[in-house]
Amino acid sequence: MYSDNSQKKLTKPVTLSTLKKMKADKEKITCLTCYDASFTNVMNAAGVETILIGDSLGMVVQGQDSTLPVTIEDMCYHTAAVKRGNTNALIITDMPFMSYSDPKQALDNAAKLMQAGAHMVKLEGGSWLAETIQLLSQRGIPVCAHLGLTPQSVHKFGGYRVQGKGQEAADLLLADSLALVEAGADLFVYECIPTELGKALTETVPVPTIGIGAGHHTDGQVLVMHDMLGVNLGHTPKFVKNFLINGRNVTQAFEAFVQEVKDVTFPGPEHGFKS
């Protein structure tokens, strides 16, 4: 997948088959959020396999206090910008709040994102999404399911709280995961769950898993770009590490993230949560 130069530039397109092989080979998957062509190009050069156009853009780009105001038009705009700067990374785009409240709406909006340049769409929620994921999968749209802390439900959770604590909550996450795999989910993002639960889910779920605050056992890691560059505007979550340190430039920060995920030095124990 990589050339021999120091930047580890991706030499061929990353696909779902690539990610599945990486899981089988126990090679860690790297993912960063991105919202424009220029940073996409730098991530490609650094060897980041997957790029997420996150609805986090509402907070880090638009200055909103949550992801909820982000629209499907916003996501299409930024997806198209990333697509124009991308060479070989797999592009995943969030479906924003209330853009997939029923299967038909989800199909229409997912089609817009795919036409804008996404290779996969991401939805937040549990087994209630099974019918929607099945419909998207049947229509040829790859799906990433997002479980654990789902920011679009922050008001329901009563804040940004660790999910999956205790046996009952852990069992529910596992049941939801298996139901969504059965429906056709191709990838999972697990956010803010105990490290040991991240391990159990990754060992049980047959598709690749990417964690953010889910410990080092998941098949890959994702961070919000602004967080890992140390330019976040508010509270820094426990699972975040600033890679733009020690005299590094942005390219070197991305390369350091890739290297530390690959050699499993990031995330460390200090970035995880206990059951």
The pLDDT confidence band at residue 2, using thresholds 50, 70 and 90, is: very low
Q: What percent of the chain has pLDDT over 90?
A: 87
User: What is the tens place of the pLDDT at every residue in 187-215?
Assistant: 999 999 999 999 999 999 999 999 999 99
Q: How far is CA 23 from the centre of its chain?
A: 15
Cβ atoms of residues 116 and 91 within 8 Å: no
| Catalytic annotation present for 191 | yes
Q: How far apart are CA 174 and CA 144, in angstroms?
A: 16
Q: Which residues are annotated as a binding site?
A: 55-56, 94, 122, 124
- The catalytic position among 49, 191, 255, 260 is 191
- Residue 160 clears pLDDT 80, i.e. is over it: no
Query: Domains in the chain and their CATH numbers?
Result: 16-271 (3.20.20.60)
User: What is the tens place of the pLDDT at every residue in 235-267?
Assistant: 788 999 999 999 999 999 999 999 999 999 999
The pLDDT confidence band at residue 158, using thresholds 50, 70 and 90, is: low
- Residue 145 clears pLDDT 70, i.e. is over it: yes
- Residue 230 clears pLDDT 80, i.e. is over it: yes
The pLDDT confidence band at residue 159, using thresholds 50, 70 and 90, is: low
For position 154, what pLDDT does the model report? 63
- Residue 155 clears pLDDT 60, i.e. is over it: no
- pTM of the predicted model as reported, rounded to 2 decimal places: 0.94
For residue 121, what are the β-bridge partners? 93, 143
Structure tokens at 120: 């996969």
Cis peptide before 267 (omega within 30 of 0): yes
Q: How far is CA 69 from the centre of its chain?
A: 20
Cβ atoms of residues 174 and 204 within 8 Å: yes
Closest by CA position to 119, among listed 83, 66, 163, 145:
83
**How large is the average pLDDT for residues 102-115?**
98
- Residue that is written with structure tokens 């599945």 in the block: 20
